[in-house]
């Protein structure tokens, strides 16, 4: 079963109000192979119900890296496949973007967050300042 499953619609009232779902999950290369084989079933096991009239599309950003690190989707457990899925309500498409990396990359990079974790969105004033700076 995938780990670190996050329903971003549940985390943000702004995203929750939109006419689509947004989910994140990570899995092993073997679990990812199972997803590719039967995506609708795999998603349903996580609680993501994609309507039958909704197609599922998957993009693997670094397929060549994944193939080199986990040939035939088998690895020693160091390969992590992160997935962001969105759509499925108002759109007749649920799109999954997948990105594989080594376990050692988790927490390795610092990110510039657009707002604090306890905020729902960027403040209007801060967003305006960033636009002016960019010019």
| Tens digits of residue pLDDT in 66-121 | 999 899 998 777 899 999 999 977 779 999 999 999 877 776 778 786 777 777 78
CA-CA distance, 41 to 26, in Å (whole number)? 16
- Please report, for the chain, the start and end positions of each structural domain, with discontinuous segments joined by +: 3-107
The answer to whether 20 and 90 have CB atoms below 8 angstroms apart is: yes
Query: Can you give the pLDDT at residue 113?
Result: 67
H/E stretch holding 68: helix 63-69
Q: Output the pTM of the full model.
A: 0.81
Q: How many residues does the chain have?
A: 135
């Amino acid at each position: 079963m995938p780990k670190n499953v996050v329903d971003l619609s549940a985390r943000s009232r702004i995203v929750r109000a939109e006419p689509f779902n947004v989910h994140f999950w990570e899995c092993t290369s073997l679990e990812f192979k199972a997803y590719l084989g039967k995506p609708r079933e795999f998603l349903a096991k996580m609680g993501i119900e994609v309507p039958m009239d909704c197609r599922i599309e998957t993009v693997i950003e670094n397929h060549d890296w994944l193939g080199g690190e986990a040939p035939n989707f088998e690895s020693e457990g160091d390969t992590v496949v992160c997935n962001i899925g969105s759509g499925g309500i108002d759109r007749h498409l649920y799109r999954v973007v997948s990105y594989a990396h080594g376990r050692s990359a988790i927490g390795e990079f610092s990110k510039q967050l657009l707002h604090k974790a306890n905020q729902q969105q960027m403040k209007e004033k801060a967003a305006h300042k960033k636009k002016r700076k960019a010019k």
